[in-house]
């Protein structure tokens, strides 16, 4: 059975605001399996937002583990991310997961990968998934040249640009902000 995958997730911190968004498309091989998947989750009573890209079941496993780490570390997002990354590298089951996460709170933006990376991206812009480079490029340009836009507006416009270019990204967007 083919894995369901492909998406674009983008997070932006801009002018004291933070927003994260994702498209709704999931593909299986060369066809669209679902067009309205919700890949953004509110955690810790809405204080932390997370977006995932990759195999859906794997991503849900990571979100659940991340929530467990958040609870164990009193909602400290960076500490929870580091602990999840350690487990992800060391645990035989987790090592095989094919997904990535972006997590944000009002102060931090982190990218978590299966190689044990917990990255704080440059320029307060992070993107993962098949359309990530399109969305990230657009967001960086908008942050630089359209400084009047909100973080949410930058995320929305950048994801729409990615959806116009990437065949694995659609215009069914979910955007959350803090």
pLDDT single digits (tens) 10-66:
999 999 999 999 999 988 878 888 899 899 999 999 999 999 988 777 778 888 989
Dmax (CA) of the chain? 47
pLDDT band at 2 (very low <50, low <70, confident <90, very high): very low
What CATH number is given to the structural domain containing 152? Answer: 3.60.20.10
Report the alpha-carbon distance of residue 110 to residue 4 in Å, rounded: 24
pLDDT for the residue 92: 63
pLDDT for the residue 144: 95
Residues at the binding site for Na(+) are: 163, 166, 169
What's the rounded mean pLDDT across residues 103-117? 90
pTM of the predicted model over 0.75: yes
Average pLDDT, the chain: 90
Smallest Cα–Cα separation from 101: which of 137, 139, 48, 167? 48
Split into its structural domains, the chain has a count of: 1
pLDDT single digits (tens) 64-91:
989 999 999 999 999 999 999 888 777 6
Residues at the binding site are: 163, 166, 169
pLDDT band at 97 (very low <50, low <70, confident <90, very high): low
Residues belonging to the active site:
7
Q: Which domain holds residue 51?
A: 4-177
Give φ, ψ of 94 to 5 degrees. Answer: -65, -35
The rounded percent of the chain whose pLDDT value lies above 70 is: 93
Least confident residue range of 52-56, 105-109, 158-162:
52-56
Is residue 162 within 8 A of residue 4, CB to CB? The reply is no
The string over 46-85, giving b where at least 16 C-beta atoms fall within 10 Å of a residue's C-beta and e elsewhere, is eebbbbbbbbbebbebbbebbbebbeeeeeebeebbbbbb
């Amino acid at each position: 059975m083919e894995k369901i995958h492909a998406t674009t997730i983008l997070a932006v911190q801009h002018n004291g605001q933070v927003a994260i968004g994702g498209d709704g498309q999931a593909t299986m091989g060369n066809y669209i399996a679902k067009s309205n998947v919700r890949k953004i989750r509110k955690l810790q009573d809405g204080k932390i937002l997370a977006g995932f890209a990759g195999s859906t079941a794997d991503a849900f496993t990571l979100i659940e583990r991340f929530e467990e780490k958040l609870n164990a570390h009193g909602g400290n997002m960076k500490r929870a991310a580091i602990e999840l990354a350690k487990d992800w590298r060391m645990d035989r089951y987790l090592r095989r997961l094919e997904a990535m996460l972006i997590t944000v709170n009002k102060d931090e933006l982190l990218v978590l990968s299966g190689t044990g990376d917990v990255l704080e991206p440059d320029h307060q812009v992070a993107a993962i998934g098949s359309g990530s480079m399109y969305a990230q490029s657009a967001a960086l340009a908008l942050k630089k040249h359209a400084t009047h836009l909100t973080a949410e507006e930058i995320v929305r416009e950048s994801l729409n640009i990615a959806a116009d270019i990437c065949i694995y990204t659609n215009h069914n967007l979910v955007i959350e902000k803090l």
